[in-house]
């Protein structure tokens, strides 16, 4: 019961308002960029979308939340400042509503109730099948498949990711820089990886450094669901041992996320034919030949997780944690002479000695 309360707390009004405020701030930034493009190019770029319209109906209008935006940046960017202003304005108007607030307050109440009921009380919960948007890569007609979930599914998957990340983050190595739990009010980012590389260079100012860099070919598109389930099970077991048990509802939602998408079904059988009906020479790369070395018929296997889905970032850290463990120098004599860093599926090894990189 205690764990159930913790999971339900992730779906509280406060958590939902915070994530909606962040999304609304991103919309404001995107609209500002598009409006600037309109003025610059004297072209008409639509600044609205279905998602932005949905979110704007749930929160105070811009003329209200702009009044709560602090003037001093104090090192924060405009996105953070706007998100905080929207969140403060929402809570303030919920406590002391004005007549003009009735519509969005009613919409917000209905939305939060619906989200909680669907996530917590729906038997055999399922995410809707995401739409797949082919994003061009270069000029050769190749595309990358980006999965786009419905608005409510995005909210639920994002909150699920936060819940699981709180329980799993302590198991990850310090050399993993992407999608980490905030510490002391800030998140680890690629900037921290760059700082550590500069610091390593400073400790080895003389001579050359050997650098080995790699990424995993088509990681999101090629990972088998059974591999993901094994990694998830291991993290759940260690979290329980650490006194951070994962509630069964969260496990159910995680499994539903996996089942909502495979690359063969959503991309090769559905999105790719639609793309080629418009552009016959277009492709969406998938290393089918390489996959055939592991599976007799990859098209029939549950392979691939959604690029663009919030949970997928967590999956990358869970699965590649074993790579981190294997790559980290465990001999104390090697630790000062070898730097290993990973950001999602991009990895780098740096050392003044060529042999250590090997």
Look at 160 and 190; give whichever has higher pLDDT: 160
Residue 122, CB-side half-sphere exposure with 13 Å CA sphere: 16
pLDDT in tens, 9-26: 888 999 999 999 999 999
**What pTM does this model have?**
0.88
Instruction: Kindly report, residue by residue over 115-126, the tens digit of the pLDDT.
Output: 999 999 998 999
Q: What is the pLDDT of residue 32?
A: 58
What distances in angstroms separate CA 119 from CA 14, 116, 168, 232, 255, one per listed residue?
16, 5, 21, 20, 13
Beta bridge partners of 348: 213, 341
Task: Enter the tokens of residue 329.
Answer: 């120098």
Greatest mean pLDDT among 23-37, 231-245, 324-338: 231-245
């Amino acid at each position: 019961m205690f764990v159930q309360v913790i999971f339900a707390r992730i779906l509280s009004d406060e958590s939902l308002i915070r994530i909606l405020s962040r999304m609304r701030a991103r919309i404001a930034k995107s609209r500002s960029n598009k409006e600037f493009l309109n003025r610059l190019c004297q072209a008409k770029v639509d600044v609205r979308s279905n998602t932005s319209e949905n979110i704007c109906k749930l929160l105070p209008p811009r003329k209200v939340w702009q009044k709560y935006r602090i003037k001093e940046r104090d090192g924060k960017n405009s996105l953070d400042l706007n998100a905080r202003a929207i969140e403060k304005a929402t809570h303030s108007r919920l406590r002391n509503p004005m007549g003009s607030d009735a519509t969005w307050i009613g919409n917000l109440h209905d939305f939060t109730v619906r989200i909680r009921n669907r996530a917590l009380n729906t038997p055999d919960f399922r995410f809707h099948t995401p739409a797949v948007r082919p994003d061009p890569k270069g000029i050769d007609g190749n595309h990358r498949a980006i999965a786009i979930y419905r608005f409510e599914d995005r909210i639920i998957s994002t909150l699920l990711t936060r819940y699981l990340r709180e329980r799993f983050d302590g198991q990850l190595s310090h050399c993993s820089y992407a999608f980490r739990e905030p510490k002391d009010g800030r998140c680890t980012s690629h900037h921290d990886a760059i700082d550590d590389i500069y610091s390593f260079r400073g400790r080895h100012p003389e001579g050359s450094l050997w650098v080995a860099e790699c990424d995993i070919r088509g990681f999101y598109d090629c990972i088998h669901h059974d591999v993901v389930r094994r990694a998830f099970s291991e993290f759940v077991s260690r979290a329980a041992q650490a006194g951070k048990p994962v509630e069964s509802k969260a496990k159910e939602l995680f499994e539903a996320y996996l089942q909502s998408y495979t690359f063969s079904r959503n991309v090769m059988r559905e999105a790719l034919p639609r793309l080629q009906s418009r552009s016959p020479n277009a492709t969406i790369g998938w290393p089918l030949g390489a996959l055939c070395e592991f599976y007799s018929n990859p098209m029939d296997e549950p392979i691939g997780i959604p690029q663009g889905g919030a949970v997928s970032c967590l999956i990358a850290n869970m699965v590649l944690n074993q790579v981190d463990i294997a790559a980290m120098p465990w001999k104390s004599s090697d630790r000062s002479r070898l730097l290993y860093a990973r950001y999602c599926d991009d990895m780098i090894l740096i050392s003044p000695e060529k042999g250590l990189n090997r």
